[in-house]
Amino acid sequence: MATITENIRKEVKEIVYSFFADECEVDIDRINDQTSIINDLDGDSLMFLELIEIFKKKYNLDIELKVIGKYAVKHPVATIGQLIEMQLLIIENENRLMDLDH
Partner 1 sequence: MSNNQLAFIFSAFTSDYADHPGRNITGFESVFNDFLLQAAASADPELANFNFTENTFHKDELLTQYLTYIYNCTVSLLLRKANVFPVMTAGYSMGIYAALYDSGSVSFETGLTLIRMAYQCMKASLKGKFFGMGTIIGLNEQDIRQLTNQSSLRVEIANQNATHSFVVSGYHDDIQILLALATSEGALHTRELGVTIPYHSGYLIDGSEDFSRMILQLKISTPVTPIISLLDQHLLTTPESLSEEITRNLFNPLNWFLTMQAMQQHQISGFIECGPSKGLARNAKFVDGIKFFPLSSILP
Instruction: Summarize as ranges the residues that interact with partner 1 (CB under 8 A).
Output: 44-46, 48-50, 53, 64-70, 72-73
Alpha-carbon span 53 to 65, nearest angstrom: 9
Sign of the four-CA dihedral 70, 74, 80, 85: negative
- Shortest distance in whole angstroms from residue 90 CB to partner 1: 12
Given the complex with partner 1, which of 21 and 72 has the nearer CB atom?
72
- Shortest distance in whole angstroms from residue 45 CB to partner 1: 3
Alpha-carbon span 53 to 47, nearest angstrom: 10
What secondary structure letter does DSSP report for 42? -
- Shortest distance in whole angstroms from residue 37 CB to partner 1: 13
